Amino acid sequence: MKAIKALKRLTKAEALLSNVIERYVTSEHSLQEVLQDAKASVIRAKEAVGQQASPGSRKDLGESWKTKRRDRQRLGNNRVAVTRHAETSKTQAPDQ
């Protein structure tokens, strides 16, 4: 699993645990303690994954495929616009 995906899932788990802890405030003290320990474990895991996925560890891959695709689409759209403009110019020429 990629580090960013793991961080997102751990964040969701932490939010769920926080929600459960808030709802069961009047519960047994032992249950509250177990939930707090679980939340602390999730936080430690997030820190470990966060250190592992430092931004300096990524390779420079150049342009992403999304950027290249977007550029190709722009070229295609411009060609269509130029062609349509040329067609409308011909049809709108005054008759003499």
pLDDT tens profile 49-69: 888 766 554 444 556 667 777
Nearest to 32 by CA among 9, 40, 45: 40
Rounded-to-integer distance, Cα 81 and Cα 75, Å? 10
Whether 7 and 44 share a structural domain: yes
CA 73-78-81 angle, to 5 degrees, is 130
**How many distinct structural domains can be found in the chain?**
2
43 and 81 co-located in one domain = no
Same domain, 45 and 72: no
Q: Count of CB atoms within 10 A of residue 42's CB?
A: 20
20 and 44 inside one domain: yes
Cβ(46)–Cβ(14) under 8 Å? Answer: yes
Q: What is the value of pTM for the model shown?
A: 0.51
| Mean pLDDT confidence for 20-40 | 84
- CB-facing half-sphere around the CA of 9: CA atoms within 13 A: 8
User: What domain range is 77 assigned to?
Assistant: 63-96
**Domain identity same for 81 and 47:** no
Same domain, residue pair 14 and 48: yes
Burial 43-78 (b: 16+ CB within 10 A, else e): eebbeebeeeeeeeeeeeeeeeeeeeeeeeeeeeee
Residue 68 shares a structural domain with residue 43: no
30-59 mean pLDDT: 81
Same domain, 49 and 69: no
Same domain for 1 and 48, yes or no, is: yes
